[in-house]
Structure 1
Amino acid sequence: MRLQDLYGTYDAIFSLGDLCIGSLKLRQNNLRPYAGVLDWMATPELSDVNRLLKNRFIGFMDLPNLRVIGYAGEKYICVSDDAYHFVSNHDFEVGKNSLSHLGSYAEVREKFDRRIRRFLEKVNSCQRILFIRTEGDLGEAKELEKVLSGLVKNDFRVLLVNHTSVKELVEDNWPLEKVCAIQLPSDNKFTANDSLWAELLKDIHISNKE
């Protein structure tokens, strides 16, 4: 799928990780009207995200699967979901939580359940959805396309951005019907590619901002 086939208007846009880059760039370009389930989590392996979507989020952030790793800066406790190999860096605030007790688990759980309900409602009702993912290979992207085809009721597209040693935006031509894969420079990938992201997203629009 080519980049030009990605352009147009969508009813919903969601980030699928792997870090918060996708969510940040959507917000910077006014394409993020609400939070997604994976916006602020570290989800390094796309294969695990595929498994999560295939499972319809069953078991996600369940308390028996959680393991406290340490501090994520001064403000948050870093917590691993060992079932899916994801890491939460921005959900468990210091004060309410400690290295020995997740005191705000019920509150965090309710937040994720709310986001999961919204996600599942959107994939069932929207006519056209865009998903953005950073990092993933061709095999993982092919599996993601298959999983989403079974989950999304109507039409969808995937923008897959890999950060590599390129110096500018490079479009890949993977043999996938629903996935457009590109490469962006890996140097300072959180901030240095703002203009490239703006160019990438300028012809993408969202129809119903909530």
Structure 2
Amino acid sequence: MSLQKIKGSYDAVFSLGHLCLPAMQMKKFNLRPFSGVFDWVGSPQLSKVNQLIQTRFTDFLNMNNLRPDKYLSPTDLYVYDFKYDIGFNHDFKTDKNTLTHLGGYPEVKEKYDRRINRFLEKLSSSKRILFIRTEKSEANFQDVQQLEKILMNMVAHDFQILLIHHKDIQKMTVVKSPFAKVTIVELPNKEIWNENDPYWAKILHRVRLMK
């Protein structure tokens, strides 16, 4: 199997979760000139990501769906969106937010509204977009098929999806994809944050943003 399908130039590259890893790798390889909706949140369920995109993020960050859950550090409060199974690790700072009062909510909501508007605008205007999604193991292929279908209906021009599965393997493997727009790569799951950097370099080689 080949990575050739995802090579070339793009107007935009977006992370679709499930963790911060895609955004971190995009930054390392100069593919992240702006922030995306899913860059710094936990989004373990692809089906929920699909729902968000398909509904154009209806009810995302609705205060009625948010639950302040725990303090992650002296500076960060973890807030959970239970409608979409989204975890906010980095957005609600403890200088304005507590377990009983999200005083910084308006700023967070405004920030994500900007990211949503940019995401939707790029879907309609970009000639070519790359979407990157990681999974802890294997994604449900029905959810992958649904993602491809949703993007086919919403993206005005061309796009590709890079799907990374983290598995108990020793080296990178590019596997056969049953989907026209999806490239599937398996990576070792021993330490996903830095040890796979050489593999990411190979995956994203000759992937670049249009100038």
TM-score range, shorter chain: over 0.9
1:112-132 Cα shifts (integer Å, max 9, x gaps): 000001000000000000000
Q: Secondary structure in 1 aligned to 2:57?
A: coil
Single out whichever of 132-141 and 57-66 deviates more from structure 2.
132-141
Gaps of 5+ in 1: none
Instruction: After the TM superposition, list the runs of 4 or more consecutive aligned residues in structure 1 that deviate by more than 6 angstroms.
Output: none
The reply to whether residue 203 of structure 1 matches residue 206 of structure 2 is: yes
Distance 1:34 1:150 in 2: 24
User: What is the distance in 2 between the residues matched to 1:76 and 1:158?
Assistant: 32
Identical amino acids, percent of aligned pairs: 43
2:176 is aligned with 1:178: no
Q: TM-score, normalised by structure 1?
A: 0.96
Q: Unaligned regions of 5+ residues in structure 2, if any?
A: none
Aligned partner of 2:141 in structure 1 is 138
Structure 2 match to 1:77: 77
Pick from 164, 168, 173: which aligns with 1:165?
168
Count matched residues.
208
Q: Deviations over 1:150-201 (max 9, x none)?
A: 1111110000001001111101112100010110010110111111111110
1: CA distance, partners of 2:202 / 2:174: 13
Where does 1:54-133 land on structure 2 (aligned, <5 Å)?
A: 54-133=54-133
Task: Answer with 136-145 or 58-67: which moved more.
Answer: 136-145
Q: How far off is 1:73 after superposition?
A: 2.4
2:203 aligned counterpart, secondary structure: helix
Whether contact under 8 Å (1:134, 1:162) holds in the other structure is: yes
Distance (whole Å) between structure 2 residues aligned to residue 146 and residue 15 of structure 1: 18
Rounded Cα–Cα distance in structure 2 between residues aligned with 1:74 and 1:191? 25
Inter-partner Cα distance in structure 1 for 2:140 and 2:207: 24
